[in-house]
Chain A
């Protein structure tokens, strides 16, 4: 029986971001399109940052997950326009990020509160962090450093 687009979206929900495993690639907003034609499926992915090394792993994980569900004729396309924005992170992703210890992106350009103790006494350590999409901040109340998901 041929697969449906809804099924593929559902399976993609089960593919975690390789760097931030608490959110799925769908929650990250990088899946731009899914289309099915007969037995062939096409998944269109957009990169977060143009040089993000996780993108190759994401493509491989998508292929593996869909193959496990019987999708063998799969094409993964890359689309860069419109460019990825943190506005595409789902609400679920934002709360998961905070539970995981990463402050979610804010339009104001910095975190609103410490993901650990919720204090708003914060300081920036560096504009870059462990991955291209994050910056390093520190809480002045609990003194814990934490990652902030940059808003772009």
Chain B
């Protein structure tokens, strides 16, 4: 019997970190072989690889904390849609290349200050994993912000596409700042800051980059939510998992 989020908030917290990396990593890997140019294809595949590596660290530790003998692979490949704790923004389909880059940027702009703070976690393992992931996240942010600027401040068409991407993604971008009991439990234990504490630093980065990218910061503050609590995912996650988990579902226990 799995403990509920209230009974084991650390497990819940670790799933959120791991599932964000896993779902974005898988989405990013969908570009492999079909990106607009070879360099971007390689870059996206490498970013996906970083994210899947980070997933192994977070979900590996989640499995230990759960204490039910589940490995990172078990958690990745044998859970159902409603057991996932990723942000909705990361599970929606990639859209075009511009939307993929915009999503990456909105995520990276949060991950960098978030992982920076997690390095000071009272939980040593969390601090160590964060320090490892931060190095990669910094590189991702550098790249995604440059790409957003290049496309936003590019041609009429690229600017329009980036503007559309922002309009589409914006209502999802606020989910991470909606805190719940798990976040409060982690903050009280000194494991993590409240994500909402990072809203202003995130917004500052987003505003600076969007301005340079000749894009307008959307005004809306409504945020879609439910992904990180597992309350409600979009219809898209199930389709994604059907592809991602097909091997373990068809051939249970298959190994390399």
Contact = CB atoms under 8 A, between A and B. Distances in A.
A50 B21 CA distance: 12
Interface stretch (A7-15, A64-72, A99-107, A125-133): A125-133
Contacts of A81: 127-128, 131-132
Given A49-B49, A51-B54, A126 B135 contact: no
B157 interface: no
Given A81-B132, A83-B132, A150-B139, A127 B53 contact: no
Contact of A132 (B39, B46, B57, B131): B46
A152 to B, nearest CB: 5
A80 B57 contact: yes
B56 interface: yes
Contacts of B43: 126-128
A78 to B, nearest CB: 10
Looking at chain A's contact residues, the main secondary structure is loop
A50 B56 contact: yes
Given A47-B132, A51-B52, 5 more contacts: A49-B49, A50-B53, A127-B139, A128-B39, A128-B46
Interface of B: 39-40, 42-43, 46-47, 49-54, 56-57, 127-129, 131-133, 135-136, 139, 142-143
Interface string A86-113: 0000000000000000000000000000
A53 B57 CA distance: 14
Contacts of A49: 49-50, 53, 136
Interface residues on A, range: 20 to 34
Contacts of A38: none
A50 B57 CA distance: 8
Nearest to B57: A50
Given A80-B129, A80-B132, A51 B51 contact: yes
Q: Which of the listed residues A50, A130, A136 has the most CB atoms from chain B within 10 Å of its own CB?
A: A50
Nearest to A56: B256
Contact of A53 (B39, B49, B54, B127): B49
Interface in A113-152: 125-132, 136, 150, 152
A10 B39 CA distance: 39
Q: Which of the listed residues B43, B46, B132 has the most CB atoms from chain A within 10 Å of its own CB?
A: B46
17 contacts: A49-B49, A50-B133, A51-B51, A51-B53, A51-B54, A51-B56, A81-B127, A83-B132, A83-B135, A127-B43, A127-B143, A128-B39, A128-B46, A128-B47, A130-B42, A132-B50, A136-B39
